[in-house]
C-alpha cells in the first residue's frame, strides 16, 4: 500500500514544487483508519482551514457560518463558544445562573429531571473556572466573559482555548469517524470518544460523554443520524433557538 499523499495548491519555496501532504502511513494503522479532512484541489471554498475563526462556525459547506436570520452579523462581537452559551443567558447580561440553564434545557425538550441533572453537571463543574478571583461563586453562576476557561481535554478540539472555532478540527470529526459522511451515528460517537480520549483526563472523558449524550438527546434523530449541519448549529448555538421555537409552535 503506498503512502497516502496529497499536494496542496501553493507555491513551493525558491521555485521548488510544493511538498506533498502525507496523511497516512501503511504500517501505522491508526493513520490509515483516521484520515484528516483535506479540501478537494478543485474546490478550495474554505481558506485556511486550520485557522481558528473568532466569531463564525465556518465549515466546508458553510464557509460564512450561520447566515440565516443575520446570525453571523448579529453575533460578530461574541466568540463562537460565547454564542453557544448565549441561548442560556436569557437576559443577555453575560451571566448564566443555574435557573437559566434549567429553563434553557427545558425549552429544547429536556424533562425536569434531565434539566436538573444538566444544571448540576454544568454549574458544578463550569462555574469556578469563570470567576474573576480565587473564591468560588456562591450561586454557581457561569460568567461568559471567561467561559473559554471551561474548555476541557478529550474533546474534538473544535473550540480553541480562547473559544474560537477551528474548521479543520470540526471537519476532521466527520473525516475520521464518519468516513466523510455528513452525519454521525451513536457508534460513530463512541469511536470518536475513544479516539479523542487523552490519558489521565477523567474530567475531559466525562465532559465529552455528557456533551455528546446531551447532543443526541436534544436532536433525537428518528433515523439515528445526527446531521453535520445540526451539530455545527450546536457549536454556535443557533440551533437551540430553532428547536425551542419549533417546540413552542407545537404548544
Nearest Cα to 102, choosing from 92, 91, 88? 88
Which cell goes with 220?
433525537
Give the C-alpha separation, 160 to 139, whole Å.
27
What would the pLDDT profile of 46-104 be if each residue is shown by its tens digit?
999 999 999 999 999 999 999 999 999 999 999 999 999 999 999 999 999 999 999 99
Which cell goes with 77?
462581537
Give the C-alpha separation, 130 to 49, whole Å.
29
Which cell goes with 20?
506533498
- Locus of grid cell 466573559: 145
What would the pLDDT profile of 104-148 be if each residue is shown by its tens digit?
999 999 999 999 999 999 999 999 999 999 999 999 999 999 999
Give the C-alpha separation, 226 to 189, whole Å.
10
Go through the chain and tell me how many residues it has.
Answer: 251
Q: Evaluate whether 158 touches 192 at the Cβ level (below 8 Å).
A: no
Amino acid at each position: 500500500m503506498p503512502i497516502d499523499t496529497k499536494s496542496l495548491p501553493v507555491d513551493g519555496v525558491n521555485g521548488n514544487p510544493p511538498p506533498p501532504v502525507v496523511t497516512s502511513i501503511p504500517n501505522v494503522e491508526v493513520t490509515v483508519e483516521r484520515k484528516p479532512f483535506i479540501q478537494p484541489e478543485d474546490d478550495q471554498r474554505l481558506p485556511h482551514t486550520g485557522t481558528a475563526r473568532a466569531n463564525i462556525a465556518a465549515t466546508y459547506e458553510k464557509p460564512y457560518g450561520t447566515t440565516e436570520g443575520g446570525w453571523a452579523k448579529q453575533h460578530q462581537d461574541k466568540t463562537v463558544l460565547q454564542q453557544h452559551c448565549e441561548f442560556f443567558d436569557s437576559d443577555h447580561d453575560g451571566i448564566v445562573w443555574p435557573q437559566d440553564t434549567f429553563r434553557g434545557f427545558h425549552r429544547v425538550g429536556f424533562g425536569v429531571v434531565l434539566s436538573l441533572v444538566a444544571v448540576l453537571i454544568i454549574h458544578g463543574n463550569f462555574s469556578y473556572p469563570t470567576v474573576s478571583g480565587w473564591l468560588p461563586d456562591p450561586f454557581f453562576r457561569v460568567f461568559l466573559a471567561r467561559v473559554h476557561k471551561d474548555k476541557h481535554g478529550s474533546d474534538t478540539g473544535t473550540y480553541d482555548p480562547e473559544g474560537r472555532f477551528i474548521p479543520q478540527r470540526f471537519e476532521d470529526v466527520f473525516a475520521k469517524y464518519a468516513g466523510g459522511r455528513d452525519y454521525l451515528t451513536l457508534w460513530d460517537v463512541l469511536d470518536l470518544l475513544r479516539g479523542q480520549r487523552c490519558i489521565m483526563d477523567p474530567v475531559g472523558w466525562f465532559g465529552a460523554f455528557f456533551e455528546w449524550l446531551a447532543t443526541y438527546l436534544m436532536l433525537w434523530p428518528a433515523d439515528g443520524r445526527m446531521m453535520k449541519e445540526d451539530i455545527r448549529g450546536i457549536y454556535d448555538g443557533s440551533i437551540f433557538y430553532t428547536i425551542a421555537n419549533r417546540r413552542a409552535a407545537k404548544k
